[in-house]
Amino acid sequence: MNMTIPDFSPVHILIMGDVMLDRYWHSDVERISPEAPVPVARVAKIEDRIGGAGNAALNAASLGTQVTLLGITGQDQHARDLEALLKKAHIAHGLIKTQNKPTITKIRIMNKNQQLLRTDFEQNFQEEGQEELLSLYQSKLNTNIDVVILSDYGKGTLKNPRRFISLAKAQNIPILVDPKSPDFSNYAGCTILKPNMKEFKAAVGLIETEKDIAEKAQNIMLAYDIAHILLTRGSQGMTLLSKNEPEIHIPAQAKEVYDVSGAGDTAIAVLGAGIAVKMKLIDAVRLSNAAAGIVIGKLGTATVSIPELHYAIKENSSGGVLNEDQLMLAVNHVKALGEKIIMTNGCFDILHAGHVHYLEQAKALGDRLIVAVNSDDSVRRLKGKERPINSLARRMAVLAGLSAVDWVIPFSEDTPERLICKVLPDVLVKGGDWHPEQIAGSKCVLANGGEVKSLDFVEGHSSTAIIEKIRLRSEK
């Protein structure tokens, strides 16, 4: 990912939606209750964070933007706690306080950074403070707002989002929406709609292929005058869909997921900041994707900083882990640009210097390197029941982190012949003393006018030898 992170400080973002207090009870669990077979959590520390739409505001503020947050709370201590947190984070706010219902609060009971239980205290605000909120929103739109973000958690604050969208649209202000309702007509006229996969399926019905996603997204955009849909897909990254244009997939950077809480808030905040400073849309989406990848490695609702983003875009300069449909979209795109595709495969159980050298050699033969990786069951069939040492997810994560590797894809068969014949790379490579005609997939690659090459491994390096050395040492 080659981009420069801009200065976000001139940007003013207006964020409105369901505001809530996230409270964490950090505890130690050392025994089972004598009253019932349940763990006893001895609370050692209580921590409060800004949640819901407030977390999106906090993420925008962490980038250096000017932020105004609007929402509805109760008239209680939890609302005062929220205001104190917002003041500390330098987030301007207009919270409409109602006497009839309490501030939405979520309490998470933690044990050594693992969530044991979440308790929610909430009532719907759809009948509370709506006209007062609309009036406040209208006044804030006249204060040089660059982007509006509507963060819908389904708690009633955004009872009628189309009213807010039309007011911003009338002033040519981009409107980004993080939806909750399965009726996407509620968000008609917005600039970017950012559902996750579950929300998208709830709105459009059954999804079986990437083609289904593209077709149904186009129907939604045309029916409801939505310029773009950014579909967030967890471990499968993001897909950007625009009216009457081919979809663009941005793969996730493979990593261990620690906590997905608030990742969507981070994604839309960073996307909004990018739109506000006139970044190219695809660059803003890539930055948003990188930011979401950072926060899922943190505990609970969290923010991302500019230094973290700098590091992420530097480290994530390759591609990522794709499924088969996503790979074909990517392959067809770069083939149309005239780029040369190289493909190789293997178990890559314990990655060593020989692998790295081999993959660098392979990448030097063209523009894009695809690495197909045996599934765990496939490795067991080839190497024995004690293998692999590392799971498929971990093996792919390490490969995706190498600068030489663009895309990583798993396969479950004993050989990747079917996959190779589908991709039809310009160059197919394999390490070791394989003759080209012995390499799986060579016949279809050669028949398509491609090349098949056998590259030498570095002497003295092999996963099997490393495993045996470890075993012998452990037996001494």
Long-range contacts of residues 130-133, Cβ cutoff 8 Å, at least 24 apart: 130/159, 130/160, 132/96, 133/16, 133/70, 133/71, 133/72, 133/96, 133/157
Residue 265 annotated among the catalytic residues of the structure: yes
Q: Which two tokens stand for residue 464?
A: 């099997």
Beta partners for 205?
none
Q: Which two tokens stand for residue 309?
A: 């983003």
CB burial of 232-259 (b: ≥16 within 10 Å; e: otherwise) equals bbeebbbbbbbeeeebbbbbbbbbeeeb
Q: What is the DSSP string of 84-95?
A: HHHHHTT-EEEE
**Rounded-to-integer distance, Cα 286 and Cα 316, Å:** 10
Yes or no: say if 320 and 251 are a contact pair by the CB < 8 Å rule: yes
Q: Which two tokens stand for residue 339?
A: 């780029």
Per the document, the length of the chain is 476
- Annotated catalytic residue within 265, 349, 406, 426: 265
Yes or no: say if 344 and 371 are a contact pair by the CB < 8 Å rule: yes
CB burial of 8-43 (b: ≥16 within 10 Å; e: otherwise) equals beebbbbbbbbbbbbbbbbbebeeeeeeeeeeebee
Contacts of 53 (CB under 8 A, 6+ apart): 15, 16, 17, 18, 19, 69, 71, 149, 151, 153, 157, 265
Pairing of strands 341-346, 320-321: unpaired
The radius of gyration of the chain from alpha carbons, rounded to an integer in Å, stands at: 25
Q: Which two tokens stand for residue 176?
A: 């980004």
Q: Which two tokens stand for residue 55?
A: 């977390």
Which residues are tagged catalytic?
A: 265
